[in-house]
Amino acid sequence: MAGQPAHCHYYLTGRILHSVEGAALADARITAGPLETQSDERGRFRIGPLCRGTYIVQVVLPGFRPFTDTVLLAGDYHLQVPMVPAVQELEEVEVFGARPAATPVQASSHLYGHELREARGESLGETLRRMAGISVLQTGPSIAKPLIHGLTGNRILILNNGVRLEGQQWGSEHAPEIDPFIAEELIVIKGADCVRYGSDAIGGVVLVNPRPLPDSVALSGEFNWVGMSNNREGVISAIAEQRLKALPLAWRLQGTLRRAACTRTPDYYLQNTAYREDNFSAAWGWKRYHFGIEGYFSHFSADLGIFSGAHLHNLTDLNHALSLQRPTDTLNTGYHINRPSQQVRHDLAKVQAYLRQSEGTKWTLTTAGQLNRRSEYDKHGPLNDSLAALNRPELQFDLSTFTTELLWQHDYSQSWLATAGINGATQYNTYSGRYFIPYYRNYSAALFYIQRYRRTMTEWEAGVRYDYRWMQVKKYEDGQLLRPQYVYERLNMHAGMLWRLSLHADLHVHVGTAWRPPAVNELYSEGLHHGVAALEYGNPNLLPEQAFSTSLSLDVHDHDVLAGELTLYHTRIIRFIYLKPQPPPQLTIQGAFPVFVYDQTDARFSGLDAAVTVRLSRAWSVAPRLSLLYAYDAGNQDDLPLMPPHNGSVMVRWQRPAAGPFLDPFVSLTVEHVLQQRRAPGDDFAPPPPAFTLWSASLGATVRLGGQPLDVQLSGTNLTDLAYRNYMNRFRYYADEMGRNIVLRLTVPFSINPSH
């Protein structure tokens, strides 16, 4: 293997077990080549990315005989390690490295490995949609926000590399400002997790985790290219990383360029739906056992065209568009972005340091700053020629956020683990152009404590958190400057249990409370929200939401035949804030638009998530998935708007570990069925669209070109070119969804070892 380009996409996973009792063993040190990790509380470990080749795997745990095995790595590999108790007394072994994060007691889903690679080129929302219980709220073909159990926006926290993403996420067309190419793993914690991650986490938490900084002195990375047929989209992304040979200092650089033309439905183009992105990130880290520090910076830049057929001149045109099967604006404008459009810029900078004060005690300090700028352009510019020539946005928001968190973790023993923290944030928002939301300033602070108790077959966790938030608004009304202030404070708690039913099955039980103060748009928005082609009006008398959440989840893992999850959940939200349709549409100087107002009610959310993979043979597997959601407006005894309909899918996959010149070939076929949303309020502007069924397929393999490995994937969505509309698309009133789309993905990994 020396001197040849290496394929560095593979992961070695496994589980450490007691050879006699069969119990999972935590804190075992596992090494494979230059990488090292520890087993978690369930005895599980994961090392990677590793290059193709032969590795000597060593496992060391005090009180047990060392384990050594040779593994030929030609793909992702799973290893079960039976640790034999030592007869003689062993010498003390010092274990380096941090303890892996504790397994969440509530339901969670993970996306990594080949599943994440097969989603390259998709937005973050579309990528998350591959998990059961996750759906997206769309605004046209290019904007997708994730929903967890029917909740989205400010009720979902997204952490980018451990930092809470702070943008203008209140808009349904304000997608997360994150490049999915930075992620090695996506984790979704379903249900309220207010105690650890903060207020607003009523619906859940999305963790976008990059790979750890490298431990190898080899210069490694990969090039990705994605091409799509429907909108002629092209994506180029690259990453390079290395650890310095003389110092414990590592670095990483990453960047992505994306260009897309107008999207096409089976019968027509969606005019002015082109978009482009220019993103990059950089990271560095200095790591010792007792002390370490790392820095991270990311820049996200997106220009988005908004479907012009959703912006009508008068009420007659709007009512006509709502009744049409085909919009009037169907020109193919190619890659050019006209009005209406959006420009989004987001910068994030983070510095994090840790200190191990003594054995079992660790302090972590994280400070971060974010700057979010959002510019929105109406369909029609100013009538004044001089002003029109300046091409200024009609709306522009600048949001600055600074956060600091101090975290303390302490292992009292093998059974007790305590986590405590204090954090604070300051946030300032300004706007220019037409009024929609006012100036405001936020200050927030929080204290939390979590106690975890671990036994061989069970784990218990309980936590409590106190939040304080102060907000001041600056708003002109009738020529007078008003400065209303809002003070919110809450105490919330959660408790949960993890019960290991067997070596391959875990039961998660979780109960918790969470809260969310009303966002400034819910209080004070007023007028045209051009991105969603609607008039929205806030309510300054709104009160904070209070949620009570319970969930029960069964997780089956590391089994030769069966793997998956089954989750039952129920959430009650008192004073639930939602956008309520207010027919009929209204005519404004900018055109005719539907009207929505913010209102409150008591809401209930109950449902089921199921995702199972059954291995029929060494090569064949079948993976059914089902998501059921029942959302009810208990206050008005009606249904809630914009809730995902029941849906399910089945994927059949064939994959071989290796086959001659084509390594790891696979073929998959997926059929997805989405029911009509029959639990929708009757005061909407148009009835929910009918049910639909979509077919998709993928195939791929790793091939060698002159010794260079190349990952090739070819996939297709909506293969039957079905004309359909999705209830979860805010533009479903006007146009169909994307037609057939063929996607080609190429990945070229590289590794340059300076010693050769």
Query: Under DSSP, is residue 124 helix (H, G, I), strand (E, B) or coil?
Result: helix
Interatomic CA distance for residues 233 and 406, integer angstroms: 43
Contact 436, 526 (CB under 8 A): yes
* Beta-bridge partners for 113: none
Interatomic CA distance for residues 624 and 410, integer angstroms: 41
The residue among 726, 713, 718, 712 whose CA lies nearest residue 696 is 718
Interatomic CA distance for residues 169 and 397, integer angstroms: 12
Interatomic CA distance for residues 175 and 158, integer angstroms: 11
Contact 714, 697 (CB under 8 A): no
And the tokens for 263?
């999207």
Instruction: Report pTM.
Output: 0.84
- What local confidence, expressed as pLDDT, does residue 706 receive? 75
The residue among 204, 213, 146, 144 whose CA lies nearest residue 184 is 213
Determine if the peptide bond prior to 49 is cis (ω within 30°): yes
Q: Tokens 């089954």 appear where?
A: 566
For residue 491, the number of C-alpha atoms closer than 13 Å in the C-beta half-sphere is 2
Interatomic CA distance for residues 645 and 655, integer angstroms: 32
Interatomic CA distance for residues 136 and 478, integer angstroms: 40
Interatomic CA distance for residues 436 and 519, integer angstroms: 13
The residue among 123, 87, 163, 191 whose CA lies nearest residue 496 is 191
Q: Tokens 């101090």 appear where?
A: 406
Query: Under DSSP, is residue 310 helix (H, G, I), strand (E, B) or coil?
Result: helix
Interatomic CA distance for residues 697 and 674, integer angstroms: 18
Q: Tokens 């709104």 appear where?
A: 542
Query: Under DSSP, is residue 145 helix (H, G, I), strand (E, B) or coil?
Result: strand
Q: What residues in the chain have per-residue pLDDT under 50?
A: 1-7, 87-101
And the tokens for 37?
């990790």
Third-level CATH fold of 108-752 = Maltoporin; Chain A (2.40.170)
Query: How far is C-alpha 469 from the chain's CA centre?
Result: 26
Third-level CATH fold of 10-83 = Immunoglobulin-like (2.60.40)
Query: How far is C-alpha 370 from the chain's CA centre?
Result: 18
Domain ranges in the chain? 10-83, 108-752
Contact 118, 653 (CB under 8 A): no
Angle at 383 between CA 377 and CA 384, to 5 degrees: 105
DSSP E strands in 434-525: the ranges are 439-454, 458-477, 480-482, 485-500, 505-516
- What local confidence, expressed as pLDDT, does residue 315 receive? 66
Query: Under DSSP, is residue 127 helix (H, G, I), strand (E, B) or coil?
Result: helix
